Amino acid sequence: MNIRLLISACLSLSLSGLAIPLQAATPAMTELNLMTGREAGTYYQMGRDLKKLASQHQIDLAVIPSAGSLENIFKVYEYPSLQLGFSQFDSLSLVAMEAAVGEDEDSVELGKVANSLQLVLPLFYEEVHVIVKSPEIKQMADLNGKRVALGDVVSGAYGTAATLLELLEIKPAEERDLDAVTALAALHQGEIDALIHVVGAPARLFAGPADGANALHLIPIPVSEKLAKNELLQTFYRTATIPAATYSWQEPAISTVAVGAVLFTSDKGPDEERCRAIGRFARMVYDNLNELGRTGHPKWKNIAIDREALLKAPHLSPCVAQAFK
């Protein structure tokens, strides 16, 4: 994985202006802003569910699309007006690990980012989708020598895809940093042979109809006995299954791996109003998980938060801890 490329891209993001105008709350409402993901992705859809719920609890939530986890981490760190973000757990840990092993200016800045990150709520697991069209590509080993899209370089999916290829000792002929929408179009046009995307199933982006002989198909990610003992795999990922017929073009259940997703914030110092708003928001989500499961994205049904375990979680926001006591 080109870690330096990731760092350079993300640090440049943190220094660039935020192009999306933030909405202003009405006087009677609490204003919060949430960095999510691509509009076709699960993060954005779940953000829209939270916006609807928040409006019933006097919280004006702006749901802001982004390239994904790594962009969210750096933007929430850089901008005080961005209080919340979704992220893959391995992306958060990647920032911390790179800060710990480096000694240059980038590592110093990464250390500041890592030290500021705080957990708001653990959420669900996102499945790794490996999608191809050619019937000759049936297993991960078949990606050797192929053209593979790993995701936008500032997304969590890119880091996950690169990590898994390394763990599985897969060497594509070409690795492209394409977002999932662009990669799917490139796959249909024969410009790439496969795309790897991390998203909570079912993903709206892949919900199109089957296309006969040209239909897409998922290939499994094997976890051998040796790989299951790998410390990196044990730390960040778990085995998972994408159920049969999750997508119209997918018949069998597919074995894969999944990575945890979390809601996070960044410590901006002693701001009591901001702190109360974050804690209140976290408690609102916790208290209304059944409602979100009933009316929102199917992934809400997979979320169960243990209050006692949450209060003992490492790096938990003190604002959240106070709201749950």
SS3 at position 262: strand
Record the tokens describing residue 57, joined without a space. Answer: 């609890």
Matching CATH number, 126-260, of 3.40.190.10, 3.90.1150.10, 3.40.50.740, 3.40.50.300:
3.40.190.10
325 residues of the chain, pLDDT tens digit each: 444 455 555 555 444 544 444 555 455 689 999 999 999 889 999 999 999 999 999 999 999 999 889 899 999 999 999 999 999 988 888 787 776 766 677 778 888 888 999 999 999 999 999 999 999 999 999 999 999 999 988 888 998 999 899 999 999 999 999 999 999 999 999 999 999 999 999 998 998 876 665 689 999 998 999 999 988 888 889 999 999 999 999 989 999 999 999 999 999 877 899 999 999 999 999 999 999 999 999 999 999 999 999 999 999 999 999 999 8
Q: Domain map of the chain by residue range?
A: 3-14+22-124+262-324, 126-260
Q: How far apart, in Å, are the Cα atoms of 251 and each of 34, 125, 185, 246, 265? A: 35, 22, 22, 8, 39
Matching CATH number, 3-14+22-124+262-324, of 3.30.750.200, 3.40.190.10, 3.40.50.720, 3.40.140.10:
3.40.190.10
SS3 at position 271: coil
Record the tokens describing residue 80, joined without a space. Answer: 């005080």
Do the beta carbons of residue 178 and residue 152 sit within 8 Å? Answer: yes
Name beta bridge partners: 195.
131, 149
pTM for the whole thing? 0.85
Nearest Cα to 2, choosing from 166, 143, 169, 141? 166
